[in-house]
Amino acid sequence: MKNTLITIVGATAIGKTALSIKLAKHFGCDIISCDSRQFYKEMSIGTAVPDPEEMDAAPHHFIQNRSIFDDYSVGQFEKNALSKLDELFKKNPIQIMVGGSGLYVDAVLKGLDYFPEVDASIRENLNIELQEKGIKHLQEKLKELDIETYNSIAIDNPHRLIRAIEICIGTGNTYASYKNKPKTPRNFNSIKIGLTADREIMYDRINRRVDIMINNGLLDEAKNMYPNKALNALQTVGYRELFEYFDGNFTKEFAIEEIKKNTRRFAKRQGTWFRKDKNIIWFDFQDDVQNIIKILETKI
């Protein structure tokens, strides 16, 4: 049997973790997490990392293995994940990857585009601009420098925005000009499945998850990281809004509603990203796992 990686994708709060554990138990394999927010050990509640019972149910990799103070890129994750997969495939020709971070999924399955190294001071200056002038200022800057990338990336994601701008400034070329070059073929087969739900159901699940996070102590978790709020790892939904509350710009109630609203927007972007991939086999989030397994086994 050729090595096969089953990848589970879909919007946040759709049930990917639960399905990945059921499939890992069935196939007797490990789980590679490619959720870019779950890498960081300081961020537990706001990133919905698997709970201890879920972690014990199947071996997981790349969950809370980094610090928010580490500079960890999608390129580093690609190398680390491929190395781990080489190791895991020696034990079992079937492995599972799960996550809602489309760029990180593509990095493992397809490979990344090559971008030249640029002066680190460019990113430092852009982070200062973000803090002093806000994200709209950087959005306008990217629009002027590279309209193609402006129209294709999530421009409300500060990390992606800064990455694109630093390439434009540091190389004198557009970020888009480095995209879509030939990649190194992978040494495993890939099967992609996705979970979906009606929009109203998905949004209700998101709203309820945010309420659970608040009840579980998200405010205290965010408060502990507030002194380091400028770090790239913390430029994410669930923390940004609470930092605004701590700054006195939002009420607590408004901050919570903003988390829900921005998480719903994030889920919509995830859906847009994954729907472009015609190779994903879609299932309703309530589909019977035995039906999913049966279909997978015809593909392996």
With b meaning 16 or more CB within 10 Å and e meaning fewer, what string describes 43-72? bbbbbbbbeeebeebbebbbbbebebeeeb
Give the confidence band of 232 by pLDDT, cuts at 50, 70, 90.
Answer: confident
Q: Is the pLDDT of residue 157 over 90?
A: no
- The rounded distance, in Å, linking the Cα atoms of 27 and 25 is 6
The pLDDT tens digits for 208-225 are: 999 999 999 999 999 999
Instruction: Tell whether 10 is in a known binding site.
Output: yes
Q: Is the pLDDT of residue 96 over 90?
A: yes
Per-residue pLDDT at 184: 83
Instruction: Tell whether 18 is in a known binding site.
Output: no
Average pLDDT for residues 181-200, to the nearest whole number?
A: 93
The pLDDT tens digits for 6-55 are: 999 999 999 999 999 999 999 999 999 999 999 999 999 999 999 999 99
Per-residue pLDDT at 156: 87
Instruction: Tell whether 4 is in a known binding site.
Output: no
Instruction: Tell whether 14 is in a known binding site.
Output: yes
Task: Report all structural domains of the chain as residue ranges with CATH numbers, in order of start.
Answer: 4-112+183-299 (3.40.50.300), 120-178 (1.10.20.140)
Instruction: Tell whether 12 is in a known binding site.
Output: yes
With both helix axes pointing from N to C terminus, report the angle between 102-109 and 74-89 in degrees, rounded to the nearest 10.
Answer: 50
Residue by residue, DSSP assigns 68-88 as TTS---HHHHHHHHHHHHHHH
Instruction: Tell whether 212 is in a known binding site.
Output: no
Give the confidence band of 283 by pLDDT, cuts at 50, 70, 90.
Answer: very high
Of the ranges 219-223, 227-231, 244-248, 249-253, which one carries the lowest mean pLDDT score?
227-231
Instruction: Tell whether 256 is in a known binding site.
Output: no
Q: Is the pLDDT of residue 159 over 90?
A: no
**First and final C-alpha spacing in the chain:** 8
Q: Is the pLDDT of residue 181 over 90?
A: no
280 with 193: CB under 8 angstroms?
yes
pTM above 0.95, yes or no: no
Average pLDDT for residues 102-124, to the nearest whole number?
A: 92
Percentage of the chain with pLDDT > 90? 88
Structure tokens at 16: 């990917």
- The rounded distance, in Å, linking the Cα atoms of 167 and 165 is 5
Give the confidence band of 124 by pLDDT, cuts at 50, 70, 90.
Answer: very high
- Continuous segment of H or E residues that includes residue 193: strand 189-196
